[in-house]
Amino acid sequence: MKLRNPLILSLAFGALAACTAPQKPYQFPVSSSTQEALPKIRVALAQQGHETQSMDPEAGIIYTRWVDTGFLMGSVQGQTATVVRRYTVIVAPSPDGLQKLTLRADTKKCAQDGFEIGGEMVTGACEGMNELAPAHQKELDALGQQLQSQIN
């Protein structure tokens, strides 16, 4: 059975949107300095298929490229929305004096065919998201585990 009724599609996508939860960034201690850790992190991200878009060594931040995940979630401006994501890695001192890596996902839901990814920007019909779908949280956790095993 094909779902072609817009009301049924809206309800189905709305149900998916209701299955999100607050993001839990992945964190772990890093044994090297920020300047030593960032190149290792960049390589590890690339090995996992996440190309670096930009890096700020002074701030200890790496941003991956924005990508359309193809995960449909709700709607934006009356159009079916897809989730667009990039990862942000921050290496900074923790209160105990050690370096800590924090990995988080920056996500937006954007109207299909209503947005463009250009460099560090996503433009068009998009809305920021503060929550993640369970599948995206699992992907974040898996990437964090891979980074942890490759860096330390």
Q: How many domains, the chain?
A: 1
CATH number of domain containing 123 = 3.30.530.50
Domain extent, residue 37, equals: 24-151
Q: Is residue 12 part of a domain?
A: no
Q: Domain for residue 60, yes or no?
A: yes
Structural element, H or E, at residue 41: helix 34-47
Beta-bridge mates of residue 69: none
Which three-class secondary structure state does DSSP give residue 72?
Answer: strand
The reply to whether 15 falls in a domain is: no
Query: Which residues does residue 107 pair with via DSSP β-bridges, in sequence order?
Result: 85, 129
The 10s digit of each residue's pLDDT in 75-131 is: 999 999 999 999 999 999 988 888 999 999 999 999 999 999 998 999 999 999 999
Residue 11 lies in a domain: no
What is the pTM for the complete model shown?
Answer: 0.85
Residue 54's Cβ-side half-sphere holds a number of Cα atoms within 13 Å equal to 8
Q: Is residue 17 part of a domain?
A: no
